[in-house]
Structure 1
Amino acid sequence: MFVEFNYQPVLEDYNKDGSLKIESVLKILENSGNAHSDKAGDSILDRSQKKLAWVLTDWKIKIDEYPKYGDKIVAKTWSQSVTQIFNVSRDFEFYCNGKICITGTTRWVVLDLTTGRPCKIEKDLIAKYEPEDKSVFEEVKLAKIPAVQEFSFEKEIQTRRSDIDFNDHVHNLTYLDYAMEVLPEQVYNAHDFSLLRITYKSPVKAGEKITAKYAFAEDSHIVYIFGGDGELKTQLQFVQ
């Protein structure tokens, strides 16, 4: 099942130069996935109330061109067939005025919110999504984000109440906001990322103080986000 999601951006979705923010790109793709879940009869909120949740583990987004203010935006999404019993992939095509300008993929697990452990993804659940035999990237396994031992800059960030989603964790898109706070000023202001990778290791919970650390490695801007106990929570990679 291919699902198309028409999005009408608002002013806050844009940078000063009129280009769509990368944060808004992810928001639009996420909302297209939610539209697919609703169409499949798998309400995200209903699932959360049953103490089960689709949990995102990875993003890979390739940006060929950023939409500009006034462009027509459509996101297309679909689920792939399950090849492993504990995770599934969702792919995206992002259209600007009818032309593909961004492609992406995500990896998901079903988490038992009571035990905190992944659950086997049942065939009848996947069948609701009517998987498609199509992938936007050739690689089956996503490349790991470069390992970093030494960082050039770090910043402590206090989580806010508004950062927490209906699963009682920091919402997955908020980690990108945290990473933006530690990027060098000239990198942040350039708005020219061609590739974004995010890997979620462990959720940040309400009231937790985190530390975002930055390094430049392997021609990439790398951000690691650590919890108050020093545990690695999320890794992000930005390629210009």
Structure 2
Amino acid sequence: MYSFDSRVRYSECDEKGVLALVPMMNYLQDCSTFQCEEVGRGLKELNRDHLGWFVTSWLIQIDSLPHFCDTITTSTWCYAMKRLQAERCFEIRGADGTTHVRADSQWYMYDFSQERVISIPQSESVFLQGDERPADLPQISRHLKPQGEGTATSPIVITEQHLDTNRHVNNAEYVRFALLAAGELGHAIDLVRLEVQYRTMALLGDTLTPVVYGDGNDITVSINGDDGKARAIMRMEGRA
């Protein structure tokens, strides 16, 4: 398991002074990239080998969110690595041991020189350290699918600010798009669980249209490209 400590910054908080959803996801992403650097498989090494890790699915369980200036510890561990898929858990805990966030995720490795997904190289087995997946963490859904008739919201044109080092839309940005779309329709959810599945990379200059399905405490948002196909789908479940 790899962990790092931090304090919740003012710039990461929402209007209530608690850690906002997208900055919270950035903590998880940062934790995994910090671990990559720690074990010698960071950005420099991946760029040298023309490789990149892409997340395909998130399941994030939110028990609570820390407040401004709270000290938190973010941890991650890879508990399984198959031929084409790595599985990685995360958690965010408070200084008193309170568990704020637990998450599971699935990743694949992309070879930029071949422009395709590849079998995970033996070099990445360094992340397997014997840690296990929590038995009480819900399983990741195999296939998220919107139900019923959706409502399209304002389109989004992808600019440089949405991209990461792999030159595609950062995974947390899709969640920002979904939250903006839900808010545009007047939905406000006190999230207890977030599920995200990524389908196809969105790139600079693409136009994406979020389509919102459902209401109340169960909303699904499909982020669609110009071809009408989903680039990412997320289900947001609120507290009863």
Runs of 4+ deviating beyond 4 Å: 137-141
Which residue number corresponds to residue 5 of structure 1?
Answer: 4
Within 2, Cα distance between the matches of 1:172 and 1:45? 20
Matched, 1:228 2:221: no
Within 2, Cα distance between the matches of 1:81 and 1:102? 20
Structure 1 150/116 Cα, relative in aligned 2: closer, same or farther at 3 Å?
Answer: farther
Within 1, Cα distance between the matches of 2:6 and 2:165? 23
Matched, 1:34 2:33: yes
How far is the alpha carbon of 1:114 from its aligned partner? 3.3
Q: Secondary structure at the match of 2:67?
A: coil
Structure 1 93/206 Cα, relative in aligned 2: closer, same or farther at 3 Å?
Answer: same
Which residue number corresponds to residue 187 of structure 1?
Answer: 187
- Count matched residues: 235
How far is the alpha carbon of 1:230 from its aligned partner? 2.1
How far is the alpha carbon of 1:218 from its aligned partner? 9.7
Question: What is the TM-score when the length of structure 1 is the normalising length?
Answer: 0.90
Which residue number corresponds to residue 205 of structure 2?
Answer: 207
* 8 Å CA contact retained: 1:168, 1:205: yes
Structure 1 234/77 Cα, relative in aligned 2: closer, same or farther at 3 Å?
Answer: same
Matches within 5 A, 1:36-185: 36-82=35-81, 84-97=82-95, 98-126=97-125, 128-137=126-135, 142-143=140-141, 144-184=143-183
Give me the CA root mean square deviation.
2.1
Structure 1 111/68 Cα, relative in aligned 2: closer, same or farther at 3 Å?
Answer: same
Q: Which piece of structure 1 moves more, 47-56 or 21-30?
A: 47-56
Q: Which runs of 5+ in 1 are unaligned?
A: none
- Percent pairwise identity: 20
Question: What is the TM-score when the length of structure 2 is the normalising length?
Answer: 0.90
How far is the alpha carbon of 1:138 from its aligned partner? 5.1
How far is the alpha carbon of 1:122 from its aligned partner? 2.5
* 8 Å CA contact retained: 2:153, 2:211: yes
Within 2, Cα distance between the matches of 1:135 and 1:25? 20
Q: Which runs of 5+ in 2 are unaligned?
A: none
Q: Which piece of structure 1 moves more, 149-158 or 91-100?
A: 149-158
* 8 Å CA contact retained: 1:103, 1:136: no
